Amino acid sequence: MSRNFKILFFLLFTSIALSTYILFSMKNIVVQDDVELKVATKPIVDIQKVKEQYNKNIMDIILEIKKSINIQGDKKSKKVFSLEELKRKVENLKSPNTNYKNIHLNLILALNNFEDYLKSGDNIDKQRSLAFLGKAERDLNEIIKAEKNGI
């Protein structure tokens, strides 16, 4: 016998032996026909509560950002809010669905533009910041209104 034939014969014998072992060592699974599976009907998370909490949190953040822009925009004011802290608050929010992605984006853009305003003193950056903030607020109000109307 040639060497290749011996290797092929060994592999064939090993695979047959392994298949036979697996086949006989498997346990039989018995399915009972009269058993009814119980499925949880109550959701684990109450989506409505999550949405309400999210809407409250996002409105609080919007008001905080407005307050920060008004106070820091006044060069005479000595009180300084942490823009990084506000950014972290926005980033840490857990959105209940994808409808809120534009709100997040507009809030981050508002904070970034306001940060640019504080660095450069250019009023255009402040106006952009206020525009993004206004858009975020309008988007949130539209979502809340649509949810109330059941859309």
pLDDT at site 34: 62
What is the structure's pLDDT at 29? 64
- Whether 29 is covered by a domain: the verdict is no
How far apart, in whole angstroms, are the C-alpha atoms of residue 46 and residue 132?
31
Q: What is the pLDDT of residue 10?
A: 93
| Domain membership flag for residue 118 | yes
User: For the chain, how many structural domains are there in total?
Assistant: 1
**Residue 121: predicted pLDDT:** 83
- Give the pLDDT mean for 53-60: 87
Asked if pLDDT for residue 73 goes beyond 60, the answer is: no
7-16, 28-37, 72-81, 96-105: least confident range: 72-81
Residue 20 lies in a domain: no
- The mean per-residue pLDDT over the stretch 98-120 comes to 86
Residue 73 in any domain: the answer is: yes
| Residue 42 within any structural domain of the chain | no
Q: 104: domain range? A: 47-149
Mean per-residue pLDDT, 126-135: 90
Residue 37 included in any domain? no
131 assigned to some structural domain: yes
113 within a domain of the structure (yes/no): yes
Of residues 142 and 48, more confidence is placed in: 142
